[in-house]
A = this chain, B = another copy of it.
């Protein structure tokens, strides 16, 4: 089930939205002010955020910008009151993905939510370049550079690294890697994964014995941090 976070101070609108969306079978979380909403968006795993532009405490624009800079990538649907045409543009500038102006119809809202979810699903963030520490990687060209010097990585190494980076900050289990990188039809040992981690660390980390990008999460898996 998809999770929607609504950040809205008007209790009447909030209630109406919540009920309507729950009827559409979404899991709905709510926050009455900007700060709470911001915290929830960071903490919970949200698929889409509905955000009122005018809020007490921390307004929609600020939240929008802060969420983006914190790395929250869930699409944001902005609610604006009709009078402030300008705010539309401002809101969009700050990283919102779409907006509706009050008063809005629920059917329109549902349509936009669906569109945003679809759009997100369509775009599995495909990175073809990435930099961290003294490393620069071009996944498309299969080139890796560390301090101006070329690095040789095998195909699997590129794939494992890419998967880790795509899930930056998240825990990646060995099973996830085996399933997604190796595929569902082959069954190497989980030790195989460890060995790829080992060699990636040797090549990428300044001090492979004390890695600072590819971290071990004991009893769970690994995590990439920038």
A224 smallest CB distance to B (angstroms): 12
* Surface stretch bound by B, among A27-35, A85-93, A204-212: A85-93
Question: Whole-angstrom distance from the CB of A71 to the nearest CB of chain B?
Answer: 14
Chain B min CB distance to A65 (Å): 12
Cβ of A149 < 8 Å from any Cβ of B? no
Q: Indicate with 1 or 0, residue by residue over A89-113, a CB within 8 angstroms of chain B CB atoms.
A: 1101101111100011111100100
Q: Report the Cα distance A218→B103, complex, angstroms.
A: 47
> Which B residues touch A127, using CB under 8 A?
none
Bound: A105/B89 CA distance, A: 10
Cβ-based interface call for A195 (8 A): no
Chain B, Cβ-Cβ closest to A107: B97
User: Would you call B111 and A16 a contact (CB within 8 A)?
Assistant: no
Q: Do A20 and B93 touch across chains, with their CB atoms under 8 A apart?
A: yes
Residues of B within 8 A of A171 (CB): 140-142
A123 at the interface (CB under 8 A from B): yes
Q: Which residues of B contact A19 (CB under 8 A)?
A: 93
Name A's B-contacting residues (CB within 8 A).
Answer: 12-13, 15-16, 19-20, 75, 85-86, 88-90, 92-93, 95-99, 103-108, 111, 119, 123, 140-142, 154-155, 169-171, 217-220, 223
B95 near A107: Cβ-Cβ < 8 Å: yes
What are 17 of the A-B contact pairs (CB < 8 Å)?
A12-B86, A12-B88, A12-B89, A13-B89, A16-B90, A20-B93, A75-B105, A92-B105, A93-B106, A95-B106, A97-B106, A97-B108, A98-B104, A98-B105, A141-B170, A154-B218, A155-B218
Select one of B103, B218, B220 contacting A98, CB under 8 A.
B103
- CB-defined contacts of A123 to chain B, threshold 8 Å: 111
Interfacial chain B residues near A219, Cβ < 8 Å: 154-155
What B residues does A98 contact at CB under 8 A? 103-105
A222 to chain B, nearest CB (A): 11
The complex places the Cα of A93 from the Cα of B119 at a distance, in Å, of 25
- Distance from A203 Cβ to chain B, minimum over Cβ atoms (Å): 15
Residues of B within 8 A of A96 (CB): 105-106
